[in-house]
């Protein structure tokens, strides 16, 4: 069954309230990673079921209480680990954004399990308890996000000043201010993180220091591929080059 036809078929089943597990064909192929829990195979957008990974613009704190872009790291680690490998995704349902929710294997390995065990995603126990043990193992090993402090991805999307902070270390004073910020929001996440990064028409990542000519004209918005950096070294490590003006 073609992926476009499969998507329509699953949507129809979900509208009818019918189970789709036994009827849906597997989706296979190499994947383009969009973030830590969503990929695209062919023309099918897939949401990895049973887990929740940080959004691309989410910030965490490391063992030294320094901010880092854990959402970008989750995305990049998944892309690196699965590069060139074949995915087999078993469709479960269609979510409200039209994505196919699936359990996926890469090289015979449960990729959701790998993400949770390495601390790049949490078990989404509201819908599934399949990965609770893997989350406990990641917490014990202080892997990925568990090395420092962070907000659960589902809480971060509706965050406020009372949002709980998770992690292996006691959150330092002022942690909420950093963790509630966005690496791509309109305001810099902290006073020492004011370098702007954007993507030009050629797809290059360019960084702009406050003294650069175009700095004030760069509007920070995640949909435009922008993000804040705390240093030139961080910007260059992310593959960005300095603006020529």
> What is the domain range of residue 207?
195-242
CATH number of the domain enclosing 21: 2.40.50.90
Q: Is the residue at 135 inside a domain? A: yes
Cα(first)–Cα(last) distance of the chain, in Å?
Answer: 51
41 belongs to a structural domain: yes
pTM for this predicted structure: 0.73
- Burial (CB count within 10 angstroms: exposed 0-12, middle 13-18, buried 19+), residue 107: exposed
Task: Report strand pairing: 38-41 vs 32-35.
Answer: antiparallel
pLDDT in tens, 87-111: 999 999 998 889 999 999 999 999 9
Question: Which two three-digit tokens encode residue 17?
Answer: 């309230």
Is 104 in the same domain as 213?
Answer: no
Q: What's the pLDDT score for residue 67? A: 85
Three-class DSSP category at 245: coil
Same domain assignment for residues 136 and 203: no
What average pLDDT does this structure show over 194-219?
89
Is residue 218 in a domain?
Answer: yes
Q: Are residues 129 and 9 in the same domain?
A: yes
Count structural domains, the chain.
Answer: 2
- Same domain for 116 and 7: yes
Could you tell me which residues come within 8 angstroms of residue 144 by beta carbon, excluding any fewer than 6 positions away? 70, 73, 74, 77, 118, 119, 120, 138
* Residue 184 belongs to a domain: no
Please write the tens of the pLDDT for every residue from 38-88. 999 999 999 999 999 998 889 999 988 888 889 989 999 999 999 999 999
* pLDDT tops 60 at residue 18: no
Which of 128, 144, 160 is where one domain is finished? 144
Mean per-residue pLDDT of the chain: 86
């Amino acid at each position: 069954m073609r992926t476009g036809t499969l998507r329509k078929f699953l949507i129809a089943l979900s509208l009818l309230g019918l189970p789709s597990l036994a009827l849906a064909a597997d989706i296979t192929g190499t994947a383009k990673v969009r973030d830590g829990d969503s990929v695209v195979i062919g023309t099918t957008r897939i949401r990895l079921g049973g887990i929740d990974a940080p959004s691309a613009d989410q910030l965490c704190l490391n063992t030294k209480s320094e901010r880092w872009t854990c959402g970008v790291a989750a995305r990049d680690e998944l892309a690196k680990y699965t590069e060139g490998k074949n995915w087999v995704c078993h469709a479960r349902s269609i979510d409200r954004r039209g994505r196919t929710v699936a359990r996926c294997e890469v090289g015979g390995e449960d990729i959701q399990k790998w993400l949770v065990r390495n601390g790049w995603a949490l078990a989404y126990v509201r819908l599934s308890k399949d990965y609770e043990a893997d989350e406990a193992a990641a917490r014990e090993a202080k892997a990925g996000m568990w090395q420092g402090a962070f907000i659960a991805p589902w809480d971060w999307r509706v965050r406020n000043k009372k949002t709980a902070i998770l992690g292996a270390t006691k959150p330092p004073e002022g942690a909420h201010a950093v963790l509630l910020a966005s690496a791509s929001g309109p305001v810099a996440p902290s006073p020492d993180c004011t370098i702007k990064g954007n993507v030009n028409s050629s797809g290059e990542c360019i960084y702009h220091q406050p003294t650069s000519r175009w700095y004030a004209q760069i509007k920070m918005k995640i949909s435009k591929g922008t993000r804040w950096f705390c240093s030139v070294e961080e910007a260059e490590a992310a593959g960005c080059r300095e603006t020529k003006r």
